[in-house]
Amino acid sequence: MTRPILCLVTDRSGFPAIGAAVRGGVDWVQFRDRSLDGSELLAALAEARAACGEAPVRWLVNRRVDLAWAAGADGVHLGFDGMPVDDARALLGSQALIGIACHTPEEVCAADPDLSYVHLAPIHTPLSKPASRPPLGTAALERAAAAGVPILAQGGVTAANARRCIQAGAAGVAVTGEILGAADPERAARALREALDHDKGSE
């Protein structure tokens, strides 16, 4: 069985913690930072990847399909105003990770079936930013998972509740505050990894 995905969502301010987070068990790093122009973003990605050495982590760029291609990233997280999924895949290749954010189970059910994943948020109250909408809870996650699109549960995910997200049908979790807000990011990532990898059927 494929292990659940642990995705770290970060801007450049989180770079000092990326190497530690990957050592702790992060599988994907999703980079979002609208404050950077194209050349700055490419340089930032190169810096982050260098910090992780040869670790088998996959890299995603928010919104910018062109920069994901130029950087040789593993995929792109499309914005609400992004290009169609088919166009993004034509540019990045059949193996590229292409995802979007959804905020209701209905949005997940209506999503393009060619997507690699969707983020469903917020499952719980976010840790890294003020809440902009009520938390969905794991019951909504269960309904969304029935659509068959791999879901990364996002929003307020911690080591204490991550396993429940997997039990509800998520393919993994996407986090920011639980790792980047920790005094020891590697330890925080490892705690999440251990929670995600726990036998889904046990309590």
Residue 31 lies in a domain: yes
Provide the domain count of the chain.
1
Which domain, by its residues, includes 152?
5-197
Residue 83, pLDDT score: 87
Residue 11 lies in a domain: yes
Residue 97 lies in a domain: yes
Residue 203 lies in a domain: no
Q: At 108, which CATH number?
A: 3.20.20.70
Residue 202 lies in a domain: no
**Which residues of the chain fall below pLDDT 70?**
1, 131, 199-203
Please write down the long-range contacts of 125-128, taking CB distance under 8 Å and 24 or more positions apart.
Answer: 125/155, 125/156, 126/155, 126/156, 126/176, 126/177, 127/156, 127/158, 127/176, 127/177, 127/178, 127/181, 128/176, 128/177, 128/180, 128/181
Residue 101 lies in a domain: yes
